[in-house]
Amino acid sequence: MIYSLDKINEMADGDDEFIKSVVAVFLEEVPQDLDDLEKALVVKNYDSVYKLAHKIKPNVDLLGMEQTRAIALQIETLGKKEENTQEIERLVPLLKKDVDQVVSELKNDFKI
């Protein structure tokens, strides 16, 4: 398991519906944002790459995915500066792998 609900549990203060809603938003938004990020990378739209990585970062952080957050931050930083684009191309599949794994785990764990 590469995610943790510690931060969400702290915020939820025992509210299970809040936890489920945060998970549902993650499952709805992050895979779509990641898909859009991949498409932006293909057409070398680094401004969109930057913005989408910036949008993904707090979502993975909320789920305690520190390594994934670090990858999103690197993509965000490189995309903003439009530099080392080969590194962005190397990092995006790593981000996708982590997100796909967590999506699968969350769907299984929350029976979604």
8 Å CB contact between 8 and 22: yes
Fold category of 6-109 in CATH: Four Helix Bundle (Hemerythrin (Met), subunit A) (1.20.120)
Contact partners, residue 89, CB within 8 Å, separation at least 6? 41
- In percent, how much of the chain has pLDDT > 70? 100
Whole-angstrom distance, CA of residue 62 vs CA of residue 5? 8
Please report, for the chain, the start and end positions of each structural domain, with discontinuous segments joined by +: 6-109
Return the H-helix or E-strand segment holding 101: helix 85-109
CA distances 48 to 8, 21, 51, 59, 98, Å, are 28, 27, 5, 17, 20
Here the tokens at position 11 are: 């915020």
Quick: pLDDT tens for 39-59: 999 999 999 999 999 999 999
Please give the average per-residue pLDDT across 16-43, as a whole number. Answer: 96
